[in-house]
Chains A and B, each alone.
Chain A
Amino acid sequence: MTRLEYNSLIPSRFLIVSSHLLVLLTVFWSREENIKACLELSYSDENYKRKDTEFLVGVSLALIFLLTEIIGFFGGMSTYCQSQALFSIVTHSLGTIAMSYFIADSWDCDLFWWIFCFSSVMPGITEIVIIMQVLGMNKYT
């Protein structure tokens, strides 16, 4: 592969991952509307608190998956792995777009789990596999 492709895939992956990080941090601090959207009109405080905790756990897990990916990326484990770069660009860009709609249109907070599944867990798991390959078996892709 030529150097040009490395040079364009790596920064684009970095920019997409950081934009996903931005959107997740934004929803972390302004989540009231989304939580109200998944409760019935006359909700009790207890129900709100339960949903709030549930959602917070989801966002924190997404941030942890993102952090492992950032560590793998900056640690040099998956920096030059092209298939992982492409996979991560596709899933994170879709996740960023979906999360922007999630915030702007205040979607139901249960829908977050679908976005979480497809845009945080999937690239996170492939990243963890790559990190284990590099650290455990010393196999660079």
Chain B
Amino acid sequence: MAASGNNRILSSLPYQILLVFGGWYYILYSVVTLLLFIYKGIILPYPVKNVVCEVVLLIFLCGVEGTRVFLGKKGNLTERSMSVILSLVLTVPAIIGVVYFLRWQTYVLQLEVILGAILLVVQGLQSVFGLFGAITFARASQLT
């Protein structure tokens, strides 16, 4: 479904691949983080208040990340720059949440540092490709 008059496909394949596998990686990330909360709750003195706050934050982050990946995928396939831009805006809270789990939460395990670092790399690449995609789509819709 090309927004421009000619039939050239503008959707970016690397961006789509990164979004699909980034979404799958995020599922792995959230499951491992949740299991590590249980692990830390058992072996370390972990105040209930902090556990509740961090689990709620993780669930919130799941919503943000799910919306972001969905908007990015649809925006890329339908070549709408608006939803790609919305997805880029949602990247900011997503990255802040990941950095919180990587740096500022009550106990940071080494596994979480590596998990979070890989996710940050994926999100960074997604933002770069998303930015180029949004510019391409906006230009194409202006020309027609």
Contact = CB atoms under 8 A, between A and B. Distances in A.
Contacts of B24: 11, 14-15
Nearest to A75: B17
Interface stretch (B69-77, B83-91, B107-115, B130-138): B107-115
Please tell me the size bucket of the interface on B.
10 to 19
Interface stretch (A17-25, A54-62, A80-88, A124-132): A17-25
Contact of A22 (B17, B21, B27, B115): B115
Nearest to B25: A18
Contacts of A74: 17, 21
Interface string B86-129: 00000000000000000000000011001100100000000000
Contacts of A25: 114
A18 B21 CA distance: 11
By secondary structure, the A interface counts as: helix
B111 to A, nearest CB: 6
Contacts of A21: 118
A114 interface: no
Contact of B28 (A19, A26, A29): A19
A44 interface: no
A15 B28 CA distance: 7
19 contacts: A11-B21, A11-B24, A14-B21, A14-B24, A15-B24, A15-B25, A15-B27, A18-B25, A18-B28, A19-B28, A22-B115, A22-B118, A25-B114, A26-B110, A26-B111, A29-B110, A29-B114, A74-B17, A74-B21
Interface of B: 17, 21, 24-25, 27-28, 110-111, 114-115, 118
Given A14-B25, A22-B115, 9 more contacts: A14-B21, A14-B24, A15-B27, A18-B28, A18-B118, A19-B28, A26-B110, A26-B114, A74-B17
Interface of A: 11, 14-15, 18-19, 21-22, 25-26, 29-30, 74
